[in-house]
């Protein structure tokens, strides 16, 4: 190929020296910039492989722009942006002199000076620069400037008003979607350049379809601009063998090119350091350097934090992690060795591109060598890339053309799922009539005034960035908008091959009164909704109102201690029938499921209420039409604004109706599941999040957390405008941990968006979880939360019962008025009319009563009927009305024998083989009189084992009630407990802890506890 000398233009000396593909790229840019001056158009896009002269294209385009600019033009500067400092330094050298030197051209006097963009705090000095200037900057600096402006596009437009154009090199790089937002806010014509056309940046920029130019790798090879890589598999896995094979390859391949340099890619800083030390030592004796972000530059040791200038460094082997993947354009690099692979194919292709440069198009320098260890087949990656390059694979999976093709390929008619169906037309404005609307939504409270159209615009832009192709917007009613979309993705079960899968979905926004209902078919929540408050828990709980039957609750603990249970989920036929835990009041209810009240059984339905995320889903019969969704959401909005009291069960848990005065954070625990996040690892592997799962202490808004055994600083502060905490941790953001599942959101962004942390604020008695404050309220200080009262049943006869067994028997019975006598009354038909009536009403069909007192007892009495069994424990005292100390013995006896009520405990009590077969016997210590009573109080059973077999049949029955009774004579008074709750005493706290623990423990074996006490 010959240079296009016929294009010489005296005033445009660089353009006259360009190769045809470079000239075509410059012509595309020139046409775009001319058009962009008079109209609002998208960005221009130039795709050229590494080594084919992107820097020359940028220089020539700026040269043309400068030559055409009027002398007193207001717009006189140019901004050049690149992702890395090393690339920025290289571009600076290129634009100052190297491009002209390499092309043997004269740098024109009209070409602007080249300088770094001022630092963020001095960015205001831009307006004082009079001479036309090319400013170069990293993406990070542009983001900092954008952050300084508060994310305001008006400030950015004003700041860069004197700029003619923006050139973005390596535009494929993806630090975050926000970087393209920052660049777009400059509002100047933008030229995107990339060496890797894997996506063409349609994702983050709107590209003008008439302003695109692509030069393929295959063409670059045919034209002689790039070398052809030859792949060399290494056999050794350890460092020493790798070094030996690498040095052997260098000696073999560099005889004709003694100036050859080598790139080695390692994943870990420790491996880089070890390999450099080994290569520099005997017997290798090679000049090697290592480059890593964590290094402190030590030239004698060959360690560098930043990439050194290749023109000022003579070292042959350069070992790195990421810093040489792009931006290095020295053609002396001819050998590349992968000690570790990169996490994605794009990075691998870029890394290989570093050794392919052949600027002189030499026939004797047209080969490069790429070596790799056995764990990384780089040749397969390269072969797939060549197919991609030849077939012009421009990421069609994210483009509307592919969606159109998929829809066009659908059959004109089909019988499926019991219906005759025709294809959905996504171009009509009444496509919404065909959609299915489940009774589900996430509920926000924006107030009565909200710009629904603007919100829809923001969400549509966000969905497009995530490769959702938005179809014709639907308006089923004046207060609703639907965004239909088609997503196309590769099958997650393919490692290297492609099988595209298309999914249809939609996002519905409906504004009702003060509420916004949002439904997305894939369960996604747009970040655009981040500034709109969610419905608060205290109102959401009204959706499971007072007579609702709760069947599931998920709870988050306010105790951040290392040994504390972080969260728990309880499922039961009815949560209200389950004993509260001792510390339930310190838990925040994040999810509740249950059945709202209904007048008829056939009208009952299950409701899921995600209190922490304001999610609602009803599982009931519905035609799933838009009309049914409207009726449902209207009824929900009415219930939220009503005065219906939530189910009483919610009062077991922390109160979410109040907000603390002092919200300054003292401690924080990141509320994320480490297994849900990963980041690029070695080769094709992913590294899971390694998070030290302990609460971090915070001083003046700052703290540290442990990630990957490293200490990372962070800041946490209350944002009063947004009503939430802001978590900032640049080091964690840089690690780029992302969700394993779509949409693979970055960890820190997700933590902030969903408030994934628990915070202990400065105000006492408050806690922050799931985006809301909560206040634990101890049950012994509030009667409406003192659930223990539900377990207490007053019995008048117990007011005067001062003895458990009495001092003398009466026939075959215990002394009247004793606690044992009251229990024994249960076997008599007239019990429901006597002093034991309050107990007898629970045993209307009693068929067995056994006295198990003394020796190896498991209960004082065991009462059984076909659908109920009770272990009964008796206690009597001197008439105390609130005496926790008197309860210790009976509570201890009850709890230590709970395992006998476990259905799968097949052991037989020792007493069943001995004591239960003999009379009950008690000898008075003073009178020495022995009293005998038949233990078999009711029931015809041959022996104790037969008795236990009958009891076990009831215990094993899932539909039977298993109960533990505490029958307390002169030990506890219900009225005294009620008074103490209103004015708590130390005795009440002890009593609460004792009985509540027993109640909860009883419930752990599926039993119910009843406490019969004085009035």
Please write the tens of the pLDDT for every residue from 276-285: 999 999 889 9
Choice between 245 and 86, residue whose per-residue pLDDT is larger: 245
Over 70: is that where the pLDDT of 458 sits? Answer: yes
Burial code of 425-448, b = ≥16 C-beta within 10 A, e = fewer? ebeeeebbeebebebbbbbbbbee
pLDDT interval class at 646 (50, 70, 90): very high
CA atoms of 820 and 859, how far apart (whole Å):
12
Asked if residues 953 and 903 have their Cβ atoms less than 8 Å apart, the reply is no
Q: For position 199, what pLDDT does the model report?
A: 47
Mean pLDDT of the region 511-533: 92
The whole-number pLDDT of residue 387 equals: 82
Is the pLDDT reported for residue 395 higher than 50? no
DSSP character string of 453-467: HHHHHHHHHHHHHTT
At 209 the pLDDT is 83
φ/ψ of residue 381, rounded to 5: -60, -45
Residue 2 predicted with pLDDT over 50: no
Tokens representing residue 343 in the block: 């996490």
- Asked if residue 310 has a cis previous peptide bond (ω within 30° of 0), the answer is no
Higher-pLDDT residue of 237, 936: 936
**For 52-102, what is each residue's pLDDT tens digit?**
889 999 999 999 888 877 766 667 899 999 988 888 998 999 999 989 988
Number of C-beta neighbours around residue 490 at 10 A: 12
Distance from C-alpha of 55 to C-alpha of 98, rounded to nearest angstrom: 9
pLDDT of residue 21: 93
Are the C-beta atoms of 350 and 315 separated by less than 8 Å?
no
pLDDT at 121: 85
Contacts of 563 (CB under 8 A, 6+ apart): none
DSSP state of 656: -
Distance separating alpha carbons of residues 679 and 737, to the nearest angstrom: 5
Does 528 have pLDDT greater than 80? yes
Coil, strand, or helix at residue 716?
A: strand
- What distance in Å separates the CA atoms of residue 197 and residue 178, rounded to the nearest whole number? 21
Q: What is the per-residue pLDDT for 925?
A: 67
pLDDT at 825: 93
Pick the range with the lowest mean pLDDT from 106-115, 435-444, 948-957: 106-115
CA 191 – CA 89 distance, rounded (Å): 19
The torsion defined by the Cα of 160, 161, 164 and 167, in degrees rounded to 10, comes to 20
Q: Spell out the residues 6+ positions from residue 857 whose beta carbon is closer than 8 angstroms to its own.
A: 893, 897, 911, 915
Q: Which of 3-7, 27-31, 128-132, 736-740 has the lowest mean pLDDT?
A: 3-7
Tokens describing residue 11: 């005033």
Cβ atoms of 303 and 323 closer than 8 Å: no
Torsion of CA 651, 653, 657, 662, to 10 degrees: 150
Question: Is the confidence at residue 880, as pLDDT, over 80?
Answer: no
- 77 Cβ neighbours under 8 A, 6+ residues apart: 112, 126, 129, 132, 133, 134, 135, 162, 163, 164
pLDDT tens profile 936-953? 999 999 999 999 999 999
In three-state secondary structure terms, 443 is strand
* 8 A C-beta contact, residue 583 and residue 641: no
Q: 298: burial class by Cβ within 10 Å (0-12, 13-18, 19+)? A: exposed
pLDDT, residue 807, reads: 78
Average pLDDT on 201-219 reads 77
Provide the pLDDT confidence category of residue 448 given band limits of 50, 70 and 90: confident
Collapsed DSSP state (helix, strand, coil) of residue 168 = strand
The per-residue pLDDT for range 828-859, each reduced to its tens digit, is 988 888 899 999 998 988 999 999 998 789 99
| Distance, C-alpha 494 to centroid of its chain | 24
How far is residue 911's CA from residue 897's CA, in Å, rounded to a whole number?
13
Instruction: Report the mean per-residue pLDDT for the chain.
Output: 87
Given this model, what pLDDT does residue 178 score? 62
Secondary structure class of 55 (helix, strand, coil): helix
Q: What is the spatial distance between Cα 751 and Cα 726, in angstroms, rounded to a whole number?
A: 9
pLDDT tier at 402, thresholds 50, 70, 90: low
pLDDT reported for residue 398 = 40
State yes or no: pLDDT of 817 exceeds 80.
Answer: yes
Residue 64 host element (H or E): helix 54-68
Which whole number is the average pLDDT over 791-808? Answer: 89
On whether the CB atoms of residues 54 and 186 are closer than 8 A, the answer is: no
The residues with which 678 forms a beta bridge, in sequence order, are 688, 738
Question: DSSP letter at 105?
Answer: -
558 three-class SS: coil
> For the ranges 236-240, 571-575, 701-705, 747-751, which has the lowest average pLDDT?
236-240
* Distance (Å, whole) CA 24 – CA 46: 10
DSSP string, 772-807: EEEB---GGG-GGG-GGGGGEEE-GGGGS---SS-S
Q: Are 555 and 537 in contact (CB under 8 A)?
A: no
Summarize the confidence of residues 946-968 as an average pLDDT. Answer: 95
pLDDT at 173: 59
> Which residues touch 700 (CB under 8 Å, ≥6 apart)?
none
Q: Looking at the predicted structure, is the pLDDT value of residue 903 above 80?
A: yes
* CA distances, 436 to each of 58, 495, 627, 629, 635 (Å): 51, 34, 11, 10, 19
| Choice between 638 and 422, residue whose per-residue pLDDT is larger | 638
Supply angle C-alpha 952, 910, 960, rounded to 5. Answer: 15
Contact criterion met (CB below 8 Å) for 1012 and 793: yes
pLDDT in tens, 166-201: 999 988 654 445 667 788 888 899 999 987 655 433
CA distance 846 to 826: 8
Judge residue 653's burial from the number of C-beta atoms within 10 Å of its C-beta, 0-12 exposed, 13-18 middle, 19 or more buried: buried
Query: Distance between CA atoms of 360 and 102, rounded to whole angstroms?
Result: 10
- pLDDT interval class at 544 (50, 70, 90): very high
pLDDT bucket at 745, cuts 50 / 70 / 90:
confident
pLDDT-derived band of residue 534, with 50, 70 and 90 as boundaries? Answer: very high
The per-residue pLDDT for 174 is: 46
Point out the least confidently predicted range of 107-111, 696-700, 780-784: 780-784
């Amino acid at each position: 190929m010959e240079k296009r000398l016929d294009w010489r233009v005296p005033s445009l000396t660089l353009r006259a020296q360009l190769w045809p593909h470079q000239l075509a790229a410059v012509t595309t840019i020139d046409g775009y910039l001319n058009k962009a001056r008079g109209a609002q158009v998208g960005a221009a896009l130039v795709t050229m492989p590494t080594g084919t002269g992107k820097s020359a294209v940028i220089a020539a385009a700026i040269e043309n722009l400068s030559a055409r600019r009027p002398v007193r033009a207001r717009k006189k500067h140019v901004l050049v942006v690149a992702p890395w400092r090393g690339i920025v330094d290289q571009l600076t050298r290129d634009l100052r002199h190297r491009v002209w030197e390499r092309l043997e051209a004269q740098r024109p006097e009209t070409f602007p000076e080249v300088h770094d963009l001022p630092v963020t705090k001095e960015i205001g000095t831009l307006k004082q620069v009079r001479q036309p200037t090319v400013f170069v900057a990293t993406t990070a600096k542009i983001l900092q400037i954008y952050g300084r402006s508060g994310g305001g596009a008006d400030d950015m437009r004003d700041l860069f008003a004197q700029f003619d154009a923006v050139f973005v090199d390596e535009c494929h790089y993806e630090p975050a979607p926000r970087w393209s937002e920052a660049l777009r806010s400059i509002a100047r014509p933008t030229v995107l350049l990339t060496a890797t056309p894997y996506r063409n940046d349609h994702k983050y920029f709107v590209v003008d379809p008439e302003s695109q130019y692509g030069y393929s790798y295959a063409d670059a090879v045919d034209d002689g601009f790039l070398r052809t890589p030859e792949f060399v598999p290494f056999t050794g896995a350890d460092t020493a063998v790798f070094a030996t094979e690498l040095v052997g390859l260098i000696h073999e391949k560099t005889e004709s090119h003694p100036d050859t340099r080598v790139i080695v890619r390692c994943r870990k800083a420790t491996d880089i350091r070890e390999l450099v030390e080994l290569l520099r030592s005997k017997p290798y004796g090679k000049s090697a350097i290592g480059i890593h972000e964590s290094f402190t530059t030590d030239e004698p040791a060959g360690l560098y934090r930043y990439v050194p200038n290749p023109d000022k460094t003579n070292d042959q082997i350069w070992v790195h992690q990421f810093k040489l993947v792009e931006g290095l354009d020295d053609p002396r690099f001819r050998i590349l060795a992968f000690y570790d692979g990169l996490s994605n194919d794009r990075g691998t292709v870029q890394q290989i591109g570093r050794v392919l440069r052949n600027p002189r198009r030499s026939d004797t320098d047209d080969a490069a060598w790429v070596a790799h260890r056995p764990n990384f087949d780089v040749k397969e990656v390269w072969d797939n890339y060549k197919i991609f390059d030849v077939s012009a694979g421009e990421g069609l999976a994210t483009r509307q053309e592919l969606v159109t093709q998929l829809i066009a390929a659908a059959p004109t008619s089909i019988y499926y799922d019991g219906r005759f169906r025709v294809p959905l037309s996504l171009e009509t404005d009444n496509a919404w009539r065909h959609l299915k609307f489940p009774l589900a939504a996430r509920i926000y409270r924006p107030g009565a005034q909200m710009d629904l159209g603007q919100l829809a615009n923001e969400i549509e832009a966000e969905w497009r960035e995530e490769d959702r192709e938005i179809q014709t917007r639907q308006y089923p009613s004046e207060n609703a908008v639907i965004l239909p979309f088609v997503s196309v993705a590769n099958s997650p079960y393919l490692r290297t091959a492609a099988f595209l899968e298309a999914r249809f979905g939609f996002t519905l926004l409906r504004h009702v009164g003060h509420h916004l209902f949002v439904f997305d078919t894939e369960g996604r929540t747009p970040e655009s909704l981040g500034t709109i408050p969610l419905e608060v828990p205290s109102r959401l709980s009204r959706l499971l109102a007072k007579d609702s039957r709760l069947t599931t609750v998920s709870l988050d603990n306010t105790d951040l201690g290392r040994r504390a249970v972080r969260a728990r989920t309880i499922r039961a036929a009815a949560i209200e029938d389950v004993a509260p835990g001792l510390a339930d009041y310190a838990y925040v209810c994040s999810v509740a499921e249950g059945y709202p009240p209904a007048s008829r059984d056939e009208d009952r339905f299950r409701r899921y209420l995600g209190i922490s995320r304001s999610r609602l889903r009803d599982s009931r019969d519905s035609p799933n039409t838009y009309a049914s969704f409207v009726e449902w959401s209207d009824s929900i909005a009415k219930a939220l604004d009503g005065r219906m009291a939530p189910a009483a069960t919610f009062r077991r848990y922390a109160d979410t109706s109040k907000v603390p005065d002092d919200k300054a954070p003292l401690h924080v625990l990141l509320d994320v599941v480490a297994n849900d996040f990963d980041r690029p690892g070695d080769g094709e592997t992913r590294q899971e999040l390694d998070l030290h799962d302990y609460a971090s202490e915070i001083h003046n808004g700052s703290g540290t957390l442990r990630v990957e055994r490293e200490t990372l600083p962070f800041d946490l502060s209350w944002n009063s405008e947004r009503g939430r905490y802001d978590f900032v941790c640049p080091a964690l953001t840089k690690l780029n941990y992302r969700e394993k599942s779509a949409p693979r959101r970055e960890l820190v962004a997700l933590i902030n968006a969903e408030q994934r942390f628990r915070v202990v604020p400065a105000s006492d008695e408050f806690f922050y979880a799931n985006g809301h404050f909560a206040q634990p309220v101890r049950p012994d200080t509030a009667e409406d939360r003192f659930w223990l009262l539900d377990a207490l049943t007053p019995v008048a006869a117990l007011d005067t019962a001062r003895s458990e067994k009495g001092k003398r028997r009466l026939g075959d019975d215990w002394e009247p008025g004793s606690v044992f006598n009251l229990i024994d009354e249960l076997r008599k038909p007239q019990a429901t009319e006597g002093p034991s009536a309050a107990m007898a009403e629970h045993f209307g069909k009693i068929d067995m009563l056994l006295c198990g007192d003394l020796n190896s007892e498991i209960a004082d009495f065991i009462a059984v009927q076909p659908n109920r069994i009770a272990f009964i424990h008796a206690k009597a005292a001197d008439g105390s009305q609130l005496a926790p100390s008197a309860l210790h013995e009976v509570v201890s006896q009850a709890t230590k024998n709970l395992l006998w009520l476990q259905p799968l405990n097949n052991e037989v009590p020792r007493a069943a083989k001995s004591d239960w077969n003999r009379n009950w016997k008690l000898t008075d210590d003073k009178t020495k009189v022995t009293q005998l009573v038949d233990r078999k109080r009711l029931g015809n059973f041959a022996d104790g084992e037969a008795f236990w077999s009958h009891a076990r049949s009831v215990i094993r029955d899932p539909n039977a009630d298993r109960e533990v009774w505490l029958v307390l004579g002169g030990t506890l008074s219900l009225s005294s407990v009620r008074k103490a709750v209103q004015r708590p005493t130390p005795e009440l706290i002890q009593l609460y802890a004792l009985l509540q623990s027993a109640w909860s423990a009883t419930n752990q074996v599926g039993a119910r506890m009843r406490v019969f006490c004085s009035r």
